[in-house]
Structure 1
Amino acid sequence: MQSPEIVAIVLSSLFIISTLAPFIKWDDWWIRVFDFPRLQLCIFGLVALVVCLTGFSFASPLSFIFTGLLLIGILYQAVKILPYTPFYRKEVIRFRGKEDHTNRISILVSNVLSPNRKARKLLHLIRRKKPNLVLTLESDTWWQQQLDTLEKDYPYTVKIPLDNLYGMHLYSNLELEDAQVIYLVKDDIPSIEAYVKLPSGKKIKIYCLHPMPPSPTEDDTSTDRDAELLLVGEKVKAREESVLVFGDLNDVAWSYTTILFRKISRLMDPRIGRGMFSTFHAHYFFLRWPLDHLFHSNDFMLNRIQRLPGIGSDHFPIYADLQYKPIAGMAQKEPEANGEDKQLAREKIARANPVNKKEKTKYTSKD
């Protein structure tokens, strides 16, 4: 066997194994990690295909088998990421009607990276974009001191400064009601639930999340992360109200867990048909995927969604501007869960043994 053929076999084998790994529904991090780099794997597969076409003599069936499996794998990876390209039908309609600022809401989400000290960059973005809601993740006491300069313009706040990489701060210039800090799966990883009141008087339920990722340094499995997402999905499903879910979900938009979450919650993704809006990793362009998300009920339309410039963190901030428009629900088809989806969600939640602890919340609001 010639060296080019050996290289072709090695590259195609690596690609095929990486493509097949996510089909194993184990929660182990070394399996779930292959959910993330589908674009990178697609490119790697194309490189392997070129090597196969130039390196194989095609004198044996093995050459045809490896090349055929490569083609199938490349097609599969492309299909998985296709919804997050402009070549796919848009799931959320862009709002083009008469301006109605009383029913408009904008959100900026930023995982700041606790050791990062470039707070001025984030504050500059906030003052430039003027979002209604600002959610920071990994924000500790130092970050809180920097962010508190926003309070003149954002008088409604929920502050959870932590040193464990799961601190969370919410600043709003719209009135918050019934804000609560919830510990869904672990007693040191918070989430925020609240109602935000639009100028029109309409109340929107919001969920701010940052579950623990599956990784060798944080959690050996995706069990807790998956359960946290699905617990919120069950909460959303159980209540007929307008909803926004946003944060760093430590999962990609095309993973089977995030898709299951969207089916259970019936929430929509404004990125579908528009782009990936990859927010991580900010420092390595060849290792990027969408980890920071915003999902909404089907009574919203999109004004704008945008990945913002870096602030020194390993995440780019993401910004979305939405229009509350109940009539949109007639034209926007929301995801739906079948019986198998619901059973799988129940099993994954039970496996995590969630704590569901509520903290007596002290949040500040305008008098």
Structure 2
Amino acid sequence: MNIPELAAYILGIIILFPTVASISKLDNWWIRDFDFPRLQISTLIIAVLIYCVTAFDFSAIWEYIMVGLLALSFIYQAIKIYPYTYIASKQVKEYVGEDVERQISVLVSNVLTTNDKYDKLIKLIIRENPDLVLTLESDKKWERELEPIEEEYPYTVKIPQDNLYGMHLYSKLELEDIDIQYLITEEIPSVHGKVKLRTGEKINIHCLHPKPPSPSEDDTSTNRDAELLLVGKEIDGKDSTLVFGDLNDVAWSRTTKLFLRLSGLLDPRIGRGFYNTFHAQYPVFRWPLDHVFHSSDFLLLKLKRLEDIGSDHFPIFIKLVYQPLQKDQNGETEEPEEEEEEWAEEKIEKGKQSERTS
């Protein structure tokens, strides 16, 4: 075996590991983080595959096996990200019409607590004119700096915190039955309630920001998964619902896909693109962490990632139109399998157990 062949084997084994890790159900942070960069991993697999084909003389069966495994690994990664490409079928159809009264727009922004470019976000809010604004990682200082928008956004929910999990909701539309919950841990808030459209119709809302799996935040993905799946199970697929926030998970992960199956909600990005919101400063390392999911009785008017505000996240903006009589236009959601429901229950119980023992 010559040096190029040896290098090919080593590179092949290294680049196969992220796929093996992603397939596994282990929840260690360094395992689950491989769920995020699927596009980057796919690109590296192609590069290593090309190198192996040129380095191998295919005189040994192991060379065929390595090339085959790399090809299968690429196919696996491609299947995961395919729905978020332009060639996939759109799950949420676009609205055509003039029903202004039933429109609702949402701007979600993880502001980054240490970011002091408050004016950039305020200018975006003025320009985009959303009905709802959700800020994440916002503390008392951010709360003070955003006071000028409260004239236009009289309905507010303020949860300033210094632990990177503060949350502020500003609304032009009337909010009702607001309930601030700490679903899994006492340090991570979420907001639940209703928003009244201009027609008087009421929509359930859930604002989330679970803790991510990372060495500085949480050793495992259990608490994040438990919060998402708990909310997913509690959502009645028959009710009009919006879920939005920084979920610290990508749309193609096992957890988020199961969340959508449990809740019956739709992802407007399917068939439209990735809309990567993190990391704003590193173009090579970007994936979609900030989400807006909705029930099937909404059609899409506008969806876009907004420009940099000095945070490590880009804000995301969506405008939807409530059209209950046209909900059959949208794609259907898959029902969770029994094994998936059991896995969800196990995750939720583990999350609650970890909080009781902490």
Asked whether the two chains share a fold, i.e. TM above 0.5, the reply is: yes
The corresponding residue for 2:317 is 319
The answer to whether the 8 Å contact 1:184/1:191 transfers is yes
Instruction: Give distance in 2, aligned partners of 1:109 and 1:181.
Output: 18
The corresponding residue for 2:259 is 261
Instruction: Give distance in 1, aligned partners of 2:88 and 2:56.
Output: 35
Instruction: Give distance in 2, aligned partners of 1:179 and 1:20.
Output: 42
SS for the counterpart of 1:40 is helix
Match of 1:331 among 310, 329, 332: 329
Instruction: Give distance in 2, aligned partners of 1:337 and 1:184.
Output: 22
Task: Decide whether aligned partners of structure 1 residues 195 and 354 sit closer, same or farther in structure 2, where only a CA change above 3 A counts.
Answer: farther
Task: Decide whether aligned partners of structure 1 residues 187 and 222 sit closer, same or farther in structure 2, where only a CA change above 3 A counts.
Answer: same
Task: Decide whether aligned partners of structure 1 residues 331 and 354 sit closer, same or farther in structure 2, where only a CA change above 3 A counts.
Answer: farther
Moved more, 55-64 or 141-150: 55-64
Instruction: Give distance in 2, aligned partners of 1:232 and 1:210.
Output: 12
Q: CA deviation at 1:354?
A: 6.6
Deviation readout 1:246-271 (Å, 9 max, x if unpaired)? 00000000000000100100100000
TM-score by length of structure 1 reads 0.94
Structure 2, unaligned stretches of length 5 or more?
none
Instruction: Give distance in 2, aligned partners of 1:22 and 1:50.
Output: 23
Say yes or no: does 1:127 pair with 2:126. Answer: yes
Map 1:94-173 to 2 at 5 A.
94-96=94-96, 98-173=97-172
Instruction: Give distance in 2, aligned partners of 1:166 and 1:301.
Output: 31
The corresponding residue for 1:307 is 305
Instruction: Give distance in 2, aligned partners of 1:25 and 1:123.
Output: 41
Say yes or no: does 1:20 pair with 2:20. Answer: yes
Q: CA deviation at 1:329?
A: 2.3
Instruction: Give distance in 2, aligned partners of 1:23 and 1:334.
Output: 22
Matched residue count: 354
Q: CA deviation at 1:341?
A: 2.1
Deviation readout 1:84-130 (Å, 9 max, x if unpaired)? 0111010001111x211110000000000100111111111111100
Q: CA RMSD in A?
A: 1.3
Deviation readout 1:208-255 (Å, 9 max, x if unpaired)? 000000111110011110010011111103x74210000000000000
Calculate percent identity across the aligned residue pairs: 53
The answer to whether the 8 Å contact 1:184/1:354 transfers is no
Deviation readout 1:265-286 (Å, 9 max, x if unpaired)? 0100000000010100111111
Instruction: Give distance in 1, aligned partners of 2:229 and 2:335.
Output: 14
Deviation readout 1:270-322 (Å, 9 max, x if unpaired)? 00000010100111111111000010000001001101101111100000100
Q: CA deviation at 1:170?
A: 0.3
Instruction: Give distance in 1, aligned partners of 2:317 and 2:257.
Output: 21
Instruction: Give distance in 2, aligned partners of 1:355 and 1:317.
Output: 32
Instruction: Give distance in 1, aligned partners of 2:326 and 2:51.
Output: 49
Deviation readout 1:310-355 (Å, 9 max, x if unpaired)? 1111100000100100123223213322322222211111111179
Map 1:1-367 to 2 at 5 A.
1-96=1-96, 98-237=97-236, 240-332=238-330, 333-353=332-352
Structure 1, unaligned stretches of length 5 or more?
357-367
